[in-house]
Amino acid sequence: MTRILLLLIGLSLGSALPSNAAGPVTVFAAASLRGVLDDIAAQYDAPVVLSFGGSGAIARQIAAGAPADVVILANRDWMAWLQSRRAVAQGQITTVAQNRLVVIGPADAASITAQELPARLGDSRLAMGQRDAVPAGTYAREWLTAAGLWDALKNQLAETDNVRAALALVARGETAFGVVYATDAAAEPEVSVVYEIPQGLHSPIRYPAAALTPDGQRFLDHLAREGAAAVFASYGYAQVTP
- Reported as a single tens digit per residue, the pLDDT across 230-242 is 999 999 998 776 5
DSSP helix/strand/coil, 107: coil
Of 47, 42, 81, the residue nearest 64 (C-alpha): 81
Place 91 in a pLDDT band, splitting at 50, 70 and 90: confident
Residue 16 pLDDT more than 60? no
- Write out the H or E segment, with its range, that includes residue 84: helix 76-84
Residue 17 pLDDT more than 90? no
Sheet holding 93-98, edge to edge: 48-53, 25-30, 70-72, 206-211, 93-98
The range of the structural domain enclosing residue 149 comes to 101-201
Place 9 in a pLDDT band, splitting at 50, 70 and 90: very low
Angle between helices 135-146 and 163-171 (to 10 degrees): 70
DSSP conformation class of 116: G
Give backbone dihedrals phi and psi of 159, rounded to 5 degrees, phi first.
Answer: -90, 135
Residue 2 pLDDT more than 50? no
> Same domain for 128 and 193?
yes
> Same domain for 111 and 179?
yes
**Is 173 within the bounds of a domain?**
yes
Total domains, the chain: 2
Task: Report the distance separating Cα 69 and Cα 63, nearest Å.
Answer: 13
- Residues 6 or more apart whose Cβ sits within 8 Å of residue 85: 63
Residue 23 pLDDT more than 80? no
Place 89 in a pLDDT band, splitting at 50, 70 and 90: confident
Mean pLDDT across 60-82: 95
Share of the chain above pLDDT 90, in %: 81
Residue 18 pLDDT more than 80? no
**Is 147 within the bounds of a domain?**
yes
